[in-house]
Amino acid sequence: MIAIPAIDLREGACVQLVGGSYSDERVRVKDPMDALLRWRSHGFRTFHVVDLDAALGKGSNEGPIGKLLSHEPGLTFSVGGGVRSTAKVEAVLALGAAYVVVGTRAIEDGAWLREVAERFPGRVVVAADVKGREVVTRGWTAGSARDIREVLESLEPLPLAGLLVTAVHKEGQMEGVDLPLMEEVAQTSRHPLYASGGVTTVEDLRALGRVGAFGAVIGMALYTGTLDAAEVAREFA
């Protein structure tokens, strides 16, 4: 299993939010490149970039994303946030992303998801953001009334690169992961699982690896120093 630092972009800066609340910003790094260089210095090579402004329809961080993706050859980036059209999928991949992460429209419009997954096989990751068991959309502000199991079944036939499952109720809390949820996803779906939300300790990472996660996206615990980046990189980068 690999650990993947999150680089969440808001107003051109790299931020960390508590519980997905845009009014509760805990960390702000003015230049996202500083965050990338910090994690690279420890040996991380795979990164997850989210455009929070685009997710809420409040703007775009395409400029900073382009700088991050063009900084160093050989790094792997997944990029998401507000990707709700085929043109945007193409634009993200053209910037140099290895994978494009689609959430809201993927959950709400199965026909569109099938179209982009088949057009870009192995390049599309579906983000399933879960509160309790309900998959939520639109920057975690809207419910879908769909259980995670139902969503997983609908995704099974598609040629996806993976599933990014975020336990929204754990996000930014630094109180551990929702291990039963992640184990259920790993056992139910054939797609690689990228787990997100609540990773606080190295043992959380080991536990996710044991239940079958392919990767884990880490944010708050790295940025606050709760997790030792060097230790995590040695074992999981």
* Catalytic residue set: 8, 129
Q: What angle do CA 234, 235, 237 make, to 5 degrees?
A: 70
Which of 137, 147, 77 minimizes the C-alpha distance to 103? Answer: 137
DSSP state of 83: -
Phi, psi of 15 (to 5 degrees): -130, 165
Q: Terminus-to-terminus CA distance in the chain, angstroms?
A: 8
From the number of C-beta atoms within 10 Å of its C-beta (0-12, 13-18, 19+), residue 87 rates as exposed
Q: Which two tokens stand for residue 101?
A: 């992460």
How far is it, in rounded angstroms, from Cα 178 to Cα 201? 13
